[in-house]
Structures are given as structure tokens and as C-alpha cells.
């Protein structure tokens, strides 16, 4: 007995692994079948994206809003249809309540469906933005219930119409009886499928609850007298069910894709805003000490006597210049992205503009052993001078950086030229015989911080911002940008600008090179800067060039000093930082002008690159310099605005 029991237990134990394996195989087969069915469905509908809880809530809200609007339209169609049947329908006179039935039926639609729909629409619109899933689901069910009740009431109207007389159909006499009401309703269900697509429950509910009255009023007649029509209408209703499932699921997929795209767009905008804010914060924190350091190094380099120490200072100055180039490039990108780069379209003489760019770049080309040439024509073009200068200058500097001094036995050279393109355009081109650009990388070179041949991030080759700025400025001006390149043979970058005409020979500009420091003797300059180190450093540099400086940390300080010193003239120019401790630069300049002379020229400088600051400065109409500001830049601005009386007196 024990032996038998033991044998049976062993047999059961032997069967358990097999049973488990059989169960696992069965589950695997079911999963495969479900996946294949899903793939088959997705073949027609497309895959459904996986949504987070928040995204799913947005989809529910979107579908609810769409359902509310479409249901109102659907009910409006039914109301118009009920009026048509009330007037032209053949009502059953033998019916017990024949005189009351049409009025009750129409009043039920107009007095029930319309007010309830408007009430639900008002409550849906007033639904809080942070309403939860339960609140949205309840509102969705209310709309579905209204649809079901309205469909039921509409179909119940068939009891009041005259019974069908199929013999009339052969005599081509069309009477709006019960059968016609049923047939036209079945045909118009296509509108129901389209309008109620945001809700599968509302669509199917409309079909099901609308079929109930028709089933009691029409099915016995059709089943007995016209069984073929009964089968046809049953199949038609079944087809509507499948169509409703397809249309409603497709509508949901559309809503899901819209939510995903909108969220992706919002994330991209937030990332761009965060990047701009980051650049603004970093650049502002760097510019203050960088400006002071640059001015101090420039002064030390001019006055130092030790050769070895001069070399160290020169190295430090190059590092400051590199940092300045990087920060200014980031500022330019920020200004372009925020739409705060203002342009002034005017007639510009190309010869002087191109000559200045080539003259400034000649030392860089000479240091590399490159031949830099200019082939210009006396063309007058219509553009923004500063923006076009940046475009061409960046293209020339880029060509010099990426052109070896010698390649394949040929000396490196860069050519700047301009040629007519038809009767209305001029193409400015920068040619080089440098390393060239592979064809598959041509679209990448205009992206920020992308450099094709600088994997080691050598600062002497720039920071990858120049061509991105070129692209942004060309788009801003509406100028066509073009590039043609071949690896190992060189590149041609060009920008096409509108042509105005030829410069008359008597107006050709004579190019001269000024030597020596500018003379700013007796020019009164007001400086508003709350950084004491920077304020002192700038004041010292301007005093060296003959300026009479009145400096303070606020507009109030400057106004008080001007009043105390009782100057006979001035100030002739106002320099102000934008971000001050108790006011911004725009307000500070306005205060000094109000206390002295509103026509005094002024300029702002700032390390803040946020779009809000750039837009506010742009609205004020003032010019904005980005920190760090070089000494030469300040001197050039002051020379330009030096009063003629002081120049003649000097």
C-alpha cells in the first residue's frame, strides 16, 4: 500500500514539470497572438504612443472639449430635422394621440436636448484647468447620457408616423411615412459617426439606444413583410458599429499625437529659454571682471619695461581676447534667437566696408603667411552696415583660420570680391584654397558650436559661432547665403545683397590710416557704473586721453557731481551700465538727460543677455555694447560723438 502511494506521488511529481511547461507554452502562444492582432490593428490605425498620467489627462480633456462642441452641432442637426418632419411628415391619424404626439415629440427635442446641451457646454467650458480625471470622466458620461437619451427620443418619433405601405414604392409615390423616417435616419448615421467620433461610448450609445424604438416599431413589419430589408438594415447597423470603433480610435490617436507634439514643442521652447537664461547669467557674471581685467592689461602692456613680463602680459591679453570673443559670440546668438537684433536698412558703400574688413584682418593673415587680397567695385547696396560687416568679417576670419600657409606646394591665399548678379543684386564672396568641407557636413557648419576640423577645440580656430551668426544675420536681413566647397581644394562663402547703383567717381572715398591716439581733450563724459573697480579703471583710461570724467554709481550721484562742479558745458556723452543697484541704465540716462540736456548722446553696456533686457533696450532706441568693452571701442565711439566746437578749438 505504501509502495503504491509512493509510486503515485512520484508519478505526480514527474507530471508537474510537464504541466508547467505546457502552461508556459500556452501563455506564450496567447501573447504572440495578441501581439499579432495588435500589429494587424496598427496596420490600419497606426500605433498608439505610451502616455504618462499627465498626458493621458490632457488627451481626455481634449476629447471632452471636442465631444462637447460636436454634440451641440449634432443636436442642432436633429432639431432642424425634427422641424422638417413636423411639417412634411405623414403622421398616423389613426393613432390614439395623433394630435398630441408630434407636438410632444418636437417639444421633447427642443425643450430637453437643446437646453441640456447648452448647460453642459457651459459647465465644460468652466471646468477648471487643473480638473482631475474623475471630474473629466463624469462630464464625459453626462454628454454620452445626453446623446443616448436624444437618440432614443428621436427614434421614438417613428411610432407617430403612418405605418409603412410598401406597395407605394412601386408606384413612384414618395410619402414621408414611418419606413422613410427609419431609412433616412439610418443613412444619416454617417453624420453621427463623424460628429461623435471623440467618444466611442457616445457613438455606440447613440446607435444602440436609437435602435431600440426602431426595433419595436419597424422590426415586426420588416421581418414579416420584407425580410430582405430586415437583414439589410441589421447588417447596416452592424457595419456602423465597426465604423464607430475605427473612427473613434482614429480620433483618439489624432488627439494623442497632438498632445505629444505640443508637449515636445513646449519642451523645446523651455529648453531654448533655459539656454538663453543660462547664457545671460554666465555672461553677466564674467563680463564685469573681464572688462576691468582687459583695460588693466592693456594699460600694463603699454607702460611695462620688462621684456619677459611684457610677454606674460601679452599672453594674458590674448586669453582675455579669447574669452571676449566667446562671450560676444554667445551674446550675438542670444540676440538673434530672441529677435532683439535691430537693423537699420540704408544705402551702404561696399568699397569702404570691404576695405576696413580686409585691413583689420590683414595682420591675422600675415601672421599665418597667407596672401589676403581684395577685389572691389564701386557698388552701392541696400543693407544694414553693421550686420553686413559682421557677416563678411566672420566669413573672412573663418577663411583665414582654416587655410594653411601652404598646401600641396601652393601658398595659401584668401580673396574677397564682389560681382553683379543680374541687374538688382550683388554677390560678395570670400574665396580660399584651404582644407575645404565634405559635402555631407555642409549643413552642419552653420550650427552653433559646430566645427568640422577642430575636434581638439583649439581656441585659435574660434568657437564655432561665427557661421551660425552669419546664417542668423543673413536670415534677418533677407540676404541669400551660399557655400560651395571641396575637401582639399578650398571653399567659397558668399552673401547676395540688393544693388542700388554705382558710386559716382567724385564721391569715391579716399582710404587713410589714422595714427596716434585720439584726442578727446575737454570732452566731458558722464559714467554711471556701480562696480567701483570698473568705474575707476574706465575713468583713468578716458582721463589719459584728455576727457573730463564725472563718474558715479547712480544717476543721482552723477547729477549731484555735475551740479557741484558747475561745468560750463556738458556732459557731452553718457556711458552707463544697464544693470545698476537701484535702477536700470535706461532710467539712469533719462534722469541725467532730464537734469541737463535731453539731446546728449548716450550708450549702454551690459553683461546681461536675457531677451527681456535686449527687448527693453531695443524699445528705448539706445545702442547696447556687450561687456567686456575694449578701450579702443570706447575711444572710437567718443571720437565719433566729440562736439565739433571742441575739435575746432583743439
Listed by start position, the domains of the chain span: 1-47, 53-225, 286-340+517-650, 345-507
Separation between Cα atoms, residue 250 and residue 380, nearest integer Å: 59
Identical fold between 286-340+517-650 and 345-507: no
Q: Can you give the pTM of this predicted structure?
A: 0.45
- What single-letter DSSP state applies at residue 169? G
Give me the CATH code for the 345-507 domain, please: 3.30.565.10
pLDDT of residue 206: 92
Cα 403 to Cα 22, 93, 353, 521, 562: the distances in Å are 72, 100, 23, 44, 54
Cα 505 to Cα 329, 351, 498, 499: the distances in Å are 38, 12, 21, 17
pLDDT of residue 448: 47
Residue 557 backbone phi and psi in degrees, to 5 = -60, -45
Beta bridge partners of 398: none
| b/e code 158-191 from CB counts within 10 Å (16+ = b) | bbbbbebeeeeeeeeeeebbbbbbbeebbeebee
- Three-state SS string across 401-468, please? HCCCCEECCEECEEEEEEEEECCCEEEEEEEECCCCCCHHHCCCCCCCCCCCCCCCCCHHHCCCCHHH
Question: Rounded mean pLDDT of 374-391?
Answer: 86
Using CB atoms within 10 Å of the CB of residue 234, give its burial: 0 to 12 exposed, 13 to 18 middle, 19+ buried.
Answer: middle
| CATH architecture label of 286-340+517-650 | 3-Layer(aba) Sandwich (3.40)
- Residue that wins the pLDDT comparison between 647 and 562: 562
Separation between Cα atoms, residue 281 and residue 608, nearest integer Å: 7
Q: Using alpha carbons only, how large is the chain's radius of gyration in Å?
A: 41
Backbone φ/ψ region at 607: left (φ over 0), alpha (ψ -120 to 50), beta: alpha
* Confidence check: pLDDT of 573 > 90: yes
- What is the sign, positive or negative, of the torsion defined by CA atoms of 446, 450, 455, 458? positive
Residue 530 backbone phi and psi in degrees, to 5 = -85, -5
Percentage of the residues of the chain whose pLDDT score is greater than 90: 15
pLDDT of residue 449: 42
Give me the torsion for CA of 471, 476, 479, 480, rounded to 10°: 40
Percent helix, strand, coil in the chain (nearest 5)? 65, 15, 25
* Confidence check: pLDDT of 464 > 50: no
Separation between Cα atoms, residue 484 and residue 492, nearest integer Å: 5
Closest CA to 110 of 157, 180, 178, 174: 157
- Residue that wins the pLDDT comparison between 348 and 230: 348
Residue 333 backbone phi and psi in degrees, to 5 = -60, -45
Residue tagged 571701442 (cell numbers): 633
pLDDT tens-digit map of 38-91: 555 555 554 455 677 778 888 888 899 999 999 999 999 999 999 998 888 888
Cis status, amide bond into 628, omega within 30 of 0: yes
Closest CA to 554 of 538, 535, 530: 530
Question: Rounded mean pLDDT of 519-534?
Answer: 85
pLDDT bin (cut points 50, 70, 90) of residue 451 is very low
pLDDT of residue 542: 84
* Confidence check: pLDDT of 532 > 50: yes
Contact residues for 557 (Cβ-Cβ < 8 A; gap 6+): 528
pLDDT tens-digit map of 118-135: 999 999 998 888 888 889
What integer best gives the mean pLDDT of the chain? 77
Give me the torsion for CA of 77, 79, 84, 86, rounded to 10°: 160
pLDDT of residue 110: 92
Answer for the pair 545, 535: CB distance below 8 angstroms, yes or no.
Answer: no
Give me the torsion for CA of 238, 190, 73, 89, rounded to 10°: -90
* Confidence check: pLDDT of 117 > 80: yes
| Segments in 545-610 forming alpha helices (H) | 555-565, 585-595
pLDDT tens-digit map of 210-234: 999 988 888 777 766 777 777 888 8
Amino acid at each position: 500500500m505504501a509502495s503504491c502511494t509512493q509510486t503515485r506521488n512520484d508519478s505526480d511529481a514527474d507530471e508537474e514539470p510537464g504541466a508547467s511547461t505546457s502552461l508556459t507554452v500556452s501563455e506564450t502562444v496567447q501573447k504572440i497572438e495578441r501581439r499579432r492582432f495588435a500589429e494587424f490593428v496598427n496596420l490600419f490605425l497606426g500605433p498608439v504612443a505610451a502616455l504618462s498620467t499627465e498626458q493621458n489627462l490632457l488627451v481626455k480633456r481634449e476629447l471632452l472639449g471636442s465631444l462637447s462642441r460636436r454634440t451641440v452641432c449634432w443636436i442642432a442637426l436633429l432639431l432642424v430635422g425634427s422641424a422638417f418632419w413636423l411639417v412634411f411628415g405623414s403622421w398616423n391619424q389613426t393613432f390614439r394621440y395623433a394630435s398630441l404626439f408630434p407636438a410632444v415629440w418636437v417639444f421633447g427635442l427642443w425643450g430637453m436636448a437643446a437646453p441640456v446641451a447648452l448647460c453642459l457646454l457651459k459647465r465644460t467650458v468652466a471646468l477648471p484647468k487643473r480638473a482631475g480625471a474623475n471630474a473629466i470622466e463624469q462630464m464625459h458620461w453626462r454628454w454620452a447620457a445626453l446623446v443616448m437619451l436624444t437618440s432614443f427620443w428621436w427614434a421614438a418619433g417613428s411610432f407617430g408616423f403612418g405605418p409603412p405601405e410598401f406597395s407605394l414604392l412601386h408606384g413612384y409615390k414618395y410619402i414621408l411615412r414611418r419606413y422613410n423616417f427609419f431609412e433616412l435616419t439610418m443613412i444619416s448615421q454617417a453624420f453621427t459617426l463623424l460628429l461623435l467620433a471623440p467618444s466611442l461610448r457616445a457613438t455606440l450609445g447613440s446607435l444602440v439606444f436609437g435602435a431600440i424604438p426602431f426595433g419595436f416599431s419597424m422590426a415586426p413589419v420588416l421581418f414579416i413583410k420584407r425580410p430582405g430589408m430586415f437583414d439589410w438594415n441589421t447588417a447596416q447597423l452592424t457595419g456602423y458599429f465597426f465604423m464607430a470603433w475605427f473612427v473613434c480610435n482614429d480620433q483618439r490617436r489624432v488627439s494623442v499625437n497632438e498632445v505629444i507634439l505640443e508637449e515636445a514643442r513646449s519642451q523645446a521652447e523651455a529648453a531654448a529659454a533655459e539656454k538663453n537664461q543660462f547664457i545671460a547669467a554666465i555672461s553677466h557674471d564674467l563680463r564685469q571682471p573681464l572688462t576691468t581685467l582687459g583695460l588693466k592689461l592693456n594699460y600694463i602692456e603699454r607702460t611695462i619695461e620688462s621684456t619677459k613680463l611684457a610677454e606674460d602680459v601679452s599672453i594674458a591679453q590674448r586669453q582675455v581676447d579669447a574669452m571676449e570673443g566667446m562671450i560676444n559670440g554667445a551674446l550675438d546668438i542670444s540676440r538673434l534667437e530672441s529677435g532683439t537684433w535691430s537693423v537699420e536698412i540704408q544705402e551702404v558703400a561696399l568699397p569702404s566696408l570691404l576695405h576696413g574688413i580686409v585691413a583689420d584682418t590683414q595682420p591675422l593673415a600675415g601672421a599665418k603667411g597667407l596672401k589676403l587680397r581684395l577685389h572691389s567695385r564701386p557698388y552701392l547696396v541696400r543693407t544694414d552696415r553693421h550686420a553686413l560687416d559682421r557677416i563678411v568679417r566672420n566669413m573672412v576670419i573663418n577663411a583665414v583660420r582654416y587655410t594653411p600657409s601652404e598646401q600641396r606646394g601652393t601658398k595659401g591665399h584668401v580673396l574677397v570680391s564682389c560681382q553683379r548678379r543680374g541687374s538688382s543684386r550683388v554677390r560678395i564672396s570670400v574665396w580660399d584654397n584651404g582644407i575645404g568641407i565634405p559635402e555631407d557636413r555642409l549643413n552642419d557648419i552653420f550650427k552653433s558650436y559646430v566645427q568640422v576640423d577642430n575636434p581638439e577645440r583649439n581656441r585659435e580656430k574660434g568657437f564655432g559661432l561665427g557661421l551660425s551668426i552669419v546664417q542668423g544675420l543673413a536670415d534677418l536681413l533677407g540676404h541669400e547665403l551660399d557655400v560651395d566647397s571641396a575637401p582639399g581644394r578650398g571653399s567659397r562663402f558668399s552673401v547676395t545683397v540688393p544693388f542700388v547703383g554705382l558710386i559716382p567717381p567724385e564721391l569715391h572715398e579716399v582710404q587713410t590710416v589714422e595714427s596716434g591716439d585720439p584726442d578727446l581733450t575737454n570732452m566731458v563724459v558722464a559714467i554711471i557704473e556701480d562696480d567701483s573697480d570698473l568705474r575707476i579703471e574706465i575713468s583713468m583710461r578716458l582721463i589719459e586721453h584728455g576727457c573730463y570724467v564725472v563718474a558715479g554709481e547712480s544717476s543721482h550721484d552723477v547729477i549731484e557731481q555735475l551740479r557741484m562742479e558747475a561745468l560750463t558745458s556738458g556732459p557731452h556723452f553718457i556711458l552707463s551700465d544697464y544693470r545698476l543697484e537701484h535702477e536700470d541704465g535706461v532710467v539712469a540716462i533719462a534722469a541725467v538727460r532730464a537734469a541737463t540736456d535731453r539731446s546728449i548722446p548716450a550708450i549702454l553696456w551690459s553683461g546681461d543677455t536675457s531677451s527681456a533686457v535686449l527687448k527693453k533696450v531695443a524699445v528705448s532706441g539706445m545702442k547696447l555694447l556687450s561687456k567686456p568693452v575694449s578701450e579702443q571701442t570706447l575711444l572710437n565711439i567718443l571720437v565719433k560723438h566729440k562736439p565739433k566746437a571742441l575739435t575746432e578749438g583743439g
